[in-house]
Amino acid sequence: MLGRDPERELASFVLPEAGQLAETRDPWRPFVLLDADGVEIEPVAAFFAELLACDKSAVTIRSYGMDLLRWWRFLWGWGIAWDRAVRSDARDFARWMKIANKPAPLHWRHRRDIKTETAPKPALEKLPPGAPNPITGKSSPGLRYAPTTRAHCETVLRVFYDFHLSEGTGPILNPFPLDRSRRHGRAHAHHNPDERFRHERQGFGQFQYPTPPLAIYPGEAIEAHRAFIARRRALRPSEEYRTPTNEEWDAFLGHFERRKLSIGICARAFGTPCIHEHACIRCSMLRPDPAQRHRLVKIRDNLIARITEAEQEGWLGEIEGLQVSLASAEEKLTRLDSERERQCKVVDLSMPAFSQIATRTSTATRPSS
């Protein structure tokens, strides 16, 4: 028989409330995962840095961080190091998420009394599990983790360990492997068109649940959605649905007319004043027109001549402002030239003529002598 570790008692396992996912309000590291001593967990910090480099938002990092915090607490509960976790640990974690109730967080006022015998119990939910919300129409969350939550958690952990595998800082094998049918090749690569597509889920079997035979939209869901839209419209201010006056419409159209400049167009938003006192050559919202490049050249040459005159006359208070305008003009000229150079590098393959196609076809089919 194959050697196996003793079965864990998952039914009575309670996730330790250790560590936290802390928000930093720093755009370079919006969230950090801390251990029980308040020390940042370096493997997760490196993973978060990779997510930021991949243009992931702070909301995504928070979502990933909550899954990682749940996994780290599970490891702490069993005394397992993150880089020593094996597939049996990941399997037990997936089984635990399927049968365990979600932890009921205590209010911050009660956390300081949690060690006392008179600590108050967590307040019950206002709505029973699965009951629809009277405002949004959505069902209230249940006591256990939803299948989508478990699937998302497993995918996040797989990506986390894949990252450290590629960096050479994690275990040899990913504890959260792909489903066996998806480890080689593309999903449905040899699908029979006469058969129905089966639902694909990555990872362990408990995250695989069947897909309905065809998309069915029950009447209850449609009516709930319509009621939700009606409630949202009732909450909106009536001013948003009124017809604009002629003066407001003229002001809106006039805004776009006033955006037109001799050397391009102003990209400032509607209803916002010019914050540069119409010093357009300095403004970053100016988008020069390539056809007006000669005007920019004249402005640059004029600025150079005025700087020379100011230096000769000793107008030191004017030199600095002219130099700022000159730098802006040169920057816009450089941008136009770079854009033109990029467009010139585009290769036009064009469409082959019919005579060329016929010649190639006859040459390819001609028998060899």
Question: Does residue 101 sit in helix, strand or coil?
Answer: strand
| Sheet with strand 286-288: strands edge to edge | 260-261, 264-266, 286-288
What band does 305 get if pLDDT is binned at 50, 70 and 90?
very high
What band does 3 get if pLDDT is binned at 50, 70 and 90?
very low
Cα–Cα distance measured from residue 175 to residue 196, given in angstroms and rounded to the nearest whole number? 31
List phi, psi (to 5°) of 47: -70, -40
Global pTM?
0.46
- Helix%, strand%, coil% for the chain, nearest 5: 50, 5, 45
Lowest mean pLDDT among 60-74, 173-187, 256-270, 312-326: 173-187
Structure tokens at 135: 């405002």
Q: What is the DSSP string of 266-321?
A: E-PPTT---TTTT-GGG-TTEEE-GGGHHHHHHHHHHHHHHHHHHHHHT-HHHHHH
Mean of pLDDT values over 50-55: 88
pLDDT of residue 351: 73
For residue range 78-130, list pLDDT tens digits in order.
Answer: 889 998 888 888 888 888 888 887 776 555 455 555 444 444 444 445 556 66
pLDDT of residue 308: 93
Structure tokens at 83: 């880089």
pLDDT of residue 297: 92
Share of the chain above pLDDT 90, in %: 14
What band does 206 get if pLDDT is binned at 50, 70 and 90?
very low
Q: Could you tell me if 70 and 29 are in contact, meaning their C-beta atoms sit under 8 angstroms apart?
A: no
Highest-pLDDT range among 1-5, 208-212, 235-239: 235-239
Highest-pLDDT range among 13-17, 82-86, 144-148, 362-366: 82-86
Query: How high does pLDDT run on average in the chain?
Result: 76
pLDDT of residue 34: 92
pLDDT of residue 207: 40
What band does 277 get if pLDDT is binned at 50, 70 and 90?
low
Q: Reply yes or no on whether the pLDDT at 359 is more than 80.
A: no
pLDDT of residue 133: 66
Q: What is the DSSP string of 202-218?
A: -S-GGG--PPPSS----
Structure tokens at 224: 């709930």
Q: Collect all residues with Cβ–Cβ distance below 8 Å to 223 and sequence separation of at least 6.
A: none
Place of tokens 């119409």: 278
Q: Could you tell me if 31 and 22 are in contact, meaning their C-beta atoms sit under 8 angstroms apart?
A: yes
Q: Reply yes or no on whether the pLDDT at 66 is more than 80.
A: yes
Share of the chain above pLDDT 70, in %: 69
Mean of pLDDT values over 141-167: 85
Q: What is the DSSP string of 16-50?
A: ----EEEE---TTSSEEEE-TTS-B-HHHHHHHHH
Cα–Cα distance measured from residue 72 to residue 94, given in angstroms and rounded to the nearest whole number? 13
pLDDT of residue 261: 79
More confident of the two residues 363 and 177: 177
The 8-class DSSP code of residue 170 comes to S
pLDDT of residue 283: 80
List phi, psi (to 5°) of 101: -85, 145
Q: Reply yes or no on whether the pLDDT at 260 is more than 70.
A: yes
pLDDT of residue 117: 43
Mean of pLDDT values over 45-69: 90
